[in-house]
Amino acid sequence: MANINVGILEFEKVSQQPVEIVERKGTGHPDTICDALAEELSIALSNLYREEFGAIMHHNVDKALLIGGIADPQFKGGKIIEPIEIYLTGRAIDEKGNKKLPVKELAIETAHKWLKENIPNLDITNHVIIHPKLKPGSKDLVELFERFQLKGEIPLANDTSFGVGFAPFSDVETIVYELERALNSKEFKKEHPYVGEDIKIMGVRNHDNIRITIAMAFVDKYVNDIKDYVEKKEIVTNYAYSIAQRLTTKHVDIFINTADDIDNESVYITVTGTSAEAGDDGQVGRGNRVNGLITPYRPMSLEAAAGKNPVSHIGKIYNTAAMDMAERIVAEIEEVEEAYCYLVSQIGKPITEPQVCDVKLRVNGDLNKIKEKVMKIAQEELDKLPSTWQKFLNRHFRLY
């Protein structure tokens, strides 16, 4: 039995505090692109290693950097002057005996595939250059990994780190997450191709008033002129408002591209649908946490989960485990209104044996009557950790 502590939340519910702030960086945001390419590379490497070694081998490819290009967007279609450059870096075993493994080629192939599928107005041949910079890991960490992985034993934590999770989402958190997912859905894009993938949403609740500010890259070739831009922005504003209204009873205001200067025709249009073409750079770990949001009024880990190995890297698996634990406790125990979970590892120790698993709850009734149920769920989630890698390979968690 792990060291599981169950207690009562001592602070006011976030949704009942006077102010709440929530952010999400959408699919085409430069930081999200870096997270996505790092995680997709980790999945690809894991599959390669399973084919070659019969098990996932040591790798951490969680250090990606996007350097924005130079573009000249224009109504009815502009051009890219200098391409985006993306550096995929980290540690990965690149040979088996005397056989060289194609890890760098895999990095380029994986990046091109994701970009083509998710940023459709980006020409992967002319608009972006991928630089794979991957090297083998340090001898001690590789040995620590192989100590359990090739023997089929419980993985040993590769770091002393922590993970946190909470449930359920507040109204603002739900609106911010669901709104970005709706605006970036294939169904919406089919009807509104002028909406790019770079969509960043900030939700601010002041008492019972929610303000949603959306930065949305429009695709220039689908916008004829400033009048057409204004009309299309109004269509998206109304759609966003209809989504938000279904998710809360509070008053909601929607604002899109508030830096636009309509009179001077200086507005947020892009050639590719992402600010990475000219306006912004990106890096792994600067975007959404493992629950898809940035929540300064909630506990968060600063770990970059995307790209880390899915077997024993605590910065990845403890954050998703804490999230799963909190969600299960709220869903399965009627008396629990809210749950926060905290996990802390110790390097070299089994991942199923955290230094502490601290569960804080907001309950209706007597905590002692449900404590055993809570501890049972927590223990079950810890026991599942050795097989969590399967969820990552199946993209069960949305890390970008």
Q: Token pair for residue 400? A: 């970008």
**Is the predicted pLDDT of residue 151 greater than 80, yes or no?**
no
- For residues 392 and 387, what is the distance between their CA atoms, to the nearest angstrom? 10
Whether residue 188 lies inside any domain: the answer is yes
State pLDDT tens for residues 281-340. Answer: 999 999 999 999 999 999 999 999 999 999 999 999 999 999 999 999 999 999 999 999
- Choosing from 227, 256, 283, the residue where a domain stops is 283
Give the global pTM: 0.95
Task: Give me the pLDDT at residue 35, please.
Answer: 98
Residues in the chain, total? 400
Q: Mean pLDDT, to the nearest integer, of 230-236?
A: 98
Number of domains in the chain: 3
CB-count burial class (<10 Å; 0-12, 13-18, 19+) for 176: buried
Q: Are 276 and 299 part of one and the same domain?
A: no
Query: Do 334 and 348 reside in the same domain of the chain?
Result: yes
Could you report the per-residue pLDDT of 28-52, keeping only the tens digit for each? 999 999 999 999 999 999 999 999 9
Residue 103, CB-side half-sphere exposure with 13 Å CA sphere: 29
Write out the E strands in 158-241.
162-167, 195-206, 209-219
pLDDT in tens, 276-292: 999 899 999 999 999 99
193 and 341 share a domain?
no
The Cα–Cα gap between 86 and 89 comes to: 10
Domain of residue 381, residue span: 4-17+160-169+287-394
Q: Is the pLDDT of residue 178 over 80?
A: yes
Number of H-type helices and E-type strands within the chain: 9, 17
**Domain CATH code at residue 185:** 3.30.300.340
Q: What is the pLDDT, as a whole number, of residue 142?
A: 66
